[in-house]
Structure 1
Amino acid sequence: MTTESPHPPQIDTSKAHPARVYDWLLGGKDNYPVDEALGEKLPPEAHDAARQNRQFMHRAAAWLAGQGIDQFLDIGTGIPTQPNLHQVVQQIAPAAKVVYTDNDPIVLRHAEALLISTAEGATDYIQADVRQPDAILERARAVLDFDRPIALSLIALMHFITDEQDAHGIVRNLVATLPSGSYLVLSHAASDLYPELAAEVTAQYAKGGIALGFRTRPEVNRFFDGLELIDPGLTTAPEWFKTTPPPEPEGSGIYAAVARIP
């Protein structure tokens, strides 16, 4: 079952979109010349950041599935890139249920790839925007049991939500709906690790009509207020790992963490 807006927006190929630029940075083909043009103006480190985000998601999702978490709400899904979140978790927990959400209509075209679940589990796709969290939650309840723990995945998403759009409030309200024992998985671009690089990326996205809200470590840490950070806490994306072998050390402008909801 794929859920979308009553009047889904048409794909605008005249303006770059974060999901499609991210796809291009990962080496995907599901983007348009306007997305490629923006991607080509970004520094090479942007490719590394996209890869680091993806690898962090894989490690965190696998660890959570190994802890018995079998429900995932992934907001800001992006264009499917193998392996997708449900493929990671259902390999460990075949009965896991995953609900994907994105606001780019092109992702809807690929929803069938996101909906190929194991026979025991379930996947669903919602076309919606994180800035309308109530709509996402209402539709997600059709698949997920909000009386049992859920992992909320916000990978490389919230730096596209500015302070004026109340990024922290959006996450706080989403987390407040989840039962005890749930988790927040979040990665976020840093403004303070490589300030000049962050400023360059922000400027290039702005030229493409996309506002960014890169944040400092304390500002990213605020997303986890009241939650129990899982060791190793708030780190850079390559530094976050649990049971898997440690990734190769490398510089990163991406903060990442997993936290449990008490």
Structure 2
Amino acid sequence: MRALIADDESHLREYLEGQLKTVWPELRVVARAANGIEALRMIDEEAPDVVFLDIRMPGLTGLDVAAKLVESPKPPHIVFVTAYDQYAVEAFEHSAVDYLLKPANIERLEKTVGKLKARLKPSSGEAAVPAAALQALLAQLTTGGVAAPAPVAAPLQWIRASHGEETRLIPIDDVIYFQSNDKYTSVFVADGESLIRTPISKLREQLDEQQFWQIHRSVIVAARHVAGTRQDFRGRLMVQLKGRPEQLVVSRNYVDLFRGM
């Protein structure tokens, strides 16, 4: 069996591919796309049996790609992948098209793989989702039905970072703070420091502002790890962290965030 994974976040493509290797080792991921346009081209070139489509991608969304695939004589089996389209889950639950919530856990992925294997068995006689069924689902998701509310971009859930010679996939909940330097941004977690190339200004846009506070142009701290604040001998406001010795400087532009603490 051959598969394509389409997601605009490379670390989530790699994460899903790794999970698939665990639960479906005989499946070959033959293509990886970063957007909907790339996905269509690669599907045409590689003719995968299964495609995993992120719903929100630049260029064409996963729903756009599916709408074009359903017009082909033999469309692949489609699994939608979403981080935040909770409103759409009800529609998927009652359709022949499967879905996964990011990041896909092993138990849920095993169920999806079980369904796909059943459909892909030559003896089953079950083809990919009929065009009419898929078209009905897409219409429900895009023309008012359960999909009426426009989804908001989801905050970052995972960080792909370098740690020495290895690459780590760090859950965002494990991050204590980010600190930028000349070329990299350091990601501090309980067991050490890893590095990413994302500038802190770009990173700020991807974080939940209720959970992560920017306290300096080069520092973003996880609110749940803030123990309190104090002033040092120079009169600077310092953030104290729970269970950690380092203290982080709050620049003047962000002092108001801590008024009343």
Note whether the superposition's TM-score is higher than 0.5: no
Which protein has the bigger strand share? 2
Give the TM-score of the pair, scaled to structure 2: 0.32
Which protein has the bigger helix share? 1
| Structure number with higher relative contact order (C-alpha < 8 Å, ≥ 6 residues apart) | 1
Give the TM-score of the pair, scaled to structure 1: 0.32
